[in-house]
Structure 1
Amino acid sequence: MPNYESLKARQRQEREHYPENLSIRVHRALSWLKQAEQTDDTDSQFIFLWIAFNAAYAQEFAQKRQFTEKNLYQSFLEKLIYLDKEARLTHLVWQEFSGPIRVILDNDYILQAYWEYQAGHITEDSWQASRKSAKARAHKALANSDTATVLAAVFSRLYTLRNQLLHGGATHGSQANRAQLKDCVCMMQKIVPLTIELMMDGNTATWGDPVYPLV
């Protein structure tokens, strides 16, 4: 699997030939991947890896509040899988991280609807319906070996975990959900650099302008 050093070396050789939007995305993503690789703190690793992924991915609709498995990252992940001629993302999902992914998808505490119910924003019936629907979609994707949909569902759960950390909804180093967080970090440590590499492979593809362009 690629890491910061190998990706940075390649970027230095190729960046003059990248379109500007891809060049900005890769440059920013690599800067955060470097930070993630330089710390042993699990919370910090997760945050840096999330920023690296978002720097690579971020689209305008990512500024909206509502995220669902139906649309969260779906087209982006499908593009990555299309570019992944060696099926490395598929291998990660169905071989290396099959167990942790199933645990993540079954964890109610990183399903956003659960916290909306706890805050009184939705009823218990709405929460249970959301829970049932999310799990049904995830299980269908697992049964159909639908890599993009499974990854989209996983990242929607990671988005909730990201919110808990960045909005002060968790204690640094807390043991609550610690095993889950470690599983997420292990997975992202391989998915994020691979994402950057696949974008570099697809440097003629359309990645769109970054949300905050260089001005």
Structure 2
Amino acid sequence: MPDYTVLKTRQRVERTTYPQNLSLRIHRALSWLNKSEQCDDDDSKFIFLWIAFNSAYAQEFEQRDSYGEQGLYGEFLKKLVECDKNNQLHELVWNEYSNAIRVILDNEFILQAYWNFHAGRIDEESWKEERFKAKVAANKALSNNDTAKVLSIVFSRLYTLRNQLIHGGATYLSSANRQQIKDCSSILEKLVPLIIEVMMDSADQVWGDAVYPLISDS
């Protein structure tokens, strides 16, 4: 599994050959991956890993209006899997599904439907049906070798946790959410370096304009 040092060493050698937009994405993503590796608590690690992921995939805001945030990263994950000629993401999903991924899917506290139920927007039967459907979809996707679909389902859970933390819906180092923080940090810790590596391997692909491009004063 590549880490920041390995990826950064490679990036320094190759960066002049990258298109400008990809170069900026990789540079930013690596900076946040580096910070995540320096963290000694899972809350901070998860947040910085999510920023690293966001740096890699983020699209212009007009596209967010059209597709929604989860729709955009779903398309991004699909493209990553298509570009992953060494099947690293597939191997990771296959190896992790029986433990970390299954645990994440079983945790109702990072299923948005669970919180919709507690907010009174849906009934109890509806949120439990959503949980069941997600498990069925993940199992079907796995049996069909649809790695992108499995990752999309997993990231929908990670996104719920991301919202809880970023929007102040959790207490720092709280014992109440310790397990999901630990599990989600663990899977992101493995996924983010691979995502960056696949993008570096696929420099000839179009990854789109980076948000907030670097502006030089004349």
Q: 1:109–1:96: structure 2 CA closer, same or farther, 3 Å change rule?
A: closer
- Could you tell me how far apart the structure 2 residues matched to 1:175 and 1:64 are? 38
| Structure 1 residue 64 displacement after superposition | 7.5
Contact 2:103 2:183 in 1 (8 A): no
- What number of residue pairs does the alignment pair up? 213
Contact 1:97 1:187 in 2 (8 A): no
What SS does the aligned partner of 1:165 have?
helix
Confirm or deny: 8 A CA contact 2:32 2:51 kept in the other structure: yes
Pairwise mapping of residues 181-192 of structure 1 onto structure 2 (< 5 A)? Answer: 181-192=181-192
Residue identity opposite 1:53 in structure 2: F
- Displacement of 1:182 in angstroms is 1.3
C-alpha distance in 2 between matches for 1:123 and 1:204: 48
- The corresponding residue for 2:14 is 14
Deviation at 1:119, TM superposition (A): 1.7
State how far apart, in whole Å, the 1-side matches of 2:96 and 2:138 are: 18
Shift, 1:14, TM fit: 1.3
Kept in 2: contact 1:138–1:153 (CA 8 A): yes
Q: How does 1:190-205 map to 2 (within 5 A)?
A: 190-205=190-205
User: Where do 5+ consecutive residues of structure 1 fail to align?
Assistant: none
Deviation at 1:52, TM superposition (A): 0.1
TM-score by length of 2: 0.88
1:133 pairs with 2:133: yes
In 1, Cα distance between the equivalents of 2:59 and 2:96? Answer: 29
In the superposition, the TM-score normalised over structure 1's length comes to 0.89
Q: One-letter code of the match for 2:166? A: L
After TM superposition, the structure 1 = structure 2 runs for residues 70-85 of structure 1, keeping only pairs within 5 Å, are 71=71, 73-85=73-85
Trace 1:1-215 onto structure 2 (pairs within 5 A): 1-60=1-60, 61-62=63-64, 71=71, 73-124=73-124, 126-215=126-215
Query: Gapped runs of 5+ residues in structure 2?
Result: none
Query: Residue type matched to 1:154 in 2?
Result: V
Taking a change above 3 Å as real, the CA distance of residues 198 and 90 of structure 1, as seen in their structure-2 partners, is same
Aligned-CA RMSD value: 2.2
For 2:157, the aligned partner's letter is R
**Change over 3 Å in CA distance of 1:101–1:64 after alignment to 2:** farther
| Residue 37 (structure 1) shift | 0.6
Q: CA deviation at 1:86?
A: 2.1
Is the Cα contact below 8 Å between 2:84 and 2:198 reproduced in 1? yes
Contact 2:110/2:180, CA 8 A, preserved across alignment: no
Corresponding letter in the other structure for 1:33:
L
**Alpha-carbon distance in structure 2 between the residues aligned to 1:197 and 1:143:** 26
